[in-house]
Amino acid sequence: MGNDGEFAHSQTSVISRNITRISSRSFEHNLQAVTGKVITHNKLKRLNNALDTLYDLIYSQFNEIKAEDYKIIGPQLSLLLNTLKGLLGTYKTFRKSGELAEEVEALGRNYSALYELNYDIKQFRIERKFNPNLLAALNNATSEMSRL
pLDDT at 7: 42
pLDDT at 130: 58
Could you report the per-residue pLDDT of 12-52, keeping only the tens digit for each?
899 999 999 999 999 998 888 777 777 778 889 999 999 99
Q: What percent of the chain has pLDDT over 90?
A: 45
Domains with residue ranges and CATH for the chain = 3-147 (1.20.58)
Q: Indicate if the pLDDT at residue 9 is higher than 70.
A: no
Could you report the per-residue pLDDT of 47-94, keeping only the tens digit for each?
999 999 999 999 999 888 888 999 999 999 999 999 999 999 888 776
pLDDT at 123: 87
Q: Of 128, 148, 5, which Cα lies nearest the Cα of 138?
A: 128
Q: Of 45, 55, 46, which Cα lies nearest the Cα of 15?
A: 55
Q: Indicate if the pLDDT at residue 3 is higher than 80.
A: no
Give, to the nearest 10 degrees, the angle between helix 67-94 and helix 101-120: 160
pLDDT at 40: 79
Q: How far apart are CA 137 and CA 44, in angstroms?
A: 38
Q: How far apart are CA 83 and CA 131, in angstroms?
A: 33
- Residue 95: which pLDDT band, with cuts at 50, 70 and 90? low
Q: How far apart are CA 133 and CA 130, in angstroms?
A: 8
Could you report the per-residue pLDDT of 102-145, keeping only the tens digit for each?
888 999 999 999 999 999 999 888 887 656 676 677 777 777 77
